[in-house]
Structure 1
């Protein structure tokens, strides 16, 4: 009966997006001309904007404090491992976790973007809209995943200790390559943290330049293509029922024991993954 706690102002939850910013993210995903880093930044901005809107119940009041959010990026510059907040600017600087209200009030900038919307007649149309931007695409050499996950543990431990009555934190890790050190033990430490409603959820999605069929939400390691895929599978939490409902609404086929893990994902997989990973019960 875990993962049932309603998210509200008295009991917010926590979302941490852990983003691989290694140089390989400057390459295109298999079958696409778009850089992985560009698409990830765009989808992350859309996800943050959706979370802000979901927290607005009264326009005069603004977003309610339903979420504390971290966007942690990692890479390597020369020999130095770089672990930092992607929201490290202005009044958000120096903070690993930021309330959704502060995120709403502090975009990096506002810019015009093309969006595909309904035309009201069953079709779609393109419309230019003004949209907030919080993060830009970045890529540095190296993939220090283990150190980045150790930082996530240090960020979440005090949050969990002071929010025992809340829905547990969710960590969504997006990567396109193997870590320079095995991160498995740090992933286990993250998942060992818990509130009274369950353990921290850790989900992993892998992007690739290879134009191969993705492995989506497996329940076993059978059929996984290599040791790296098996490692990410072992690091990933089983999908709780409360998130499986949203996955099925999006047409994602799940089986008992499906884990929050996609290997060799395409961009539409990433979009759905972010949607499912950030879905919570109706807030009050």
Structure 2
């Protein structure tokens, strides 16, 4: 069942989304060589507590995980791309770090992810991150009333194909609003003109994620962290959007990055 949100409800989701955007911007500045992933986790815990918000991850126990999840952010490094458990790890020069955060404020949820490169970026890693960002932009542009879900999926797929990256279809985007995961599923691969018709009031998390040389994944022994099956590096970009009568509205829009930043 898909719940259409009113303009007022969308604004409440945007309040949550802007809080998440601010945290991800902060983490992008904090994530430097030598910083421990647990320090990033604790920073987010403090920010959530100060705001009086609720983590969508804490105690989350879906069928695909080894629940309950007992962290407030997913931190995935290099070949890890989804659901990474924060752990005692010091970031190294050139690490590719994906940060994925979902929070609830006053009963409304938003979800966003970004990938940054710590220290000195490698060209091939910058290219991979850029591909996910461009795919996200393309998917958002296709999220208009009267289009079909397949138009979003096909737009994301076209960018990945253009860069030469394979696409995994086991995990993708999703609806959200009062809870973190709602209908519908949004695949990162699909056929234009096919699938569910898009309507104003739908709120979606679009999240293209790619591994450089494989579409296969493996789980860590922790039961959560998902990695590329061949160890190739990965990247992930995600925004929560609302479909409105005039087009897509990004609810988790981040501040522009600093001009001298090396982060993607």
What is the TM-score normalised by the length of structure 2? 0.30
Highest Rg: 1 or 2?
1
What is the TM-score normalised by the length of structure 1? 0.28
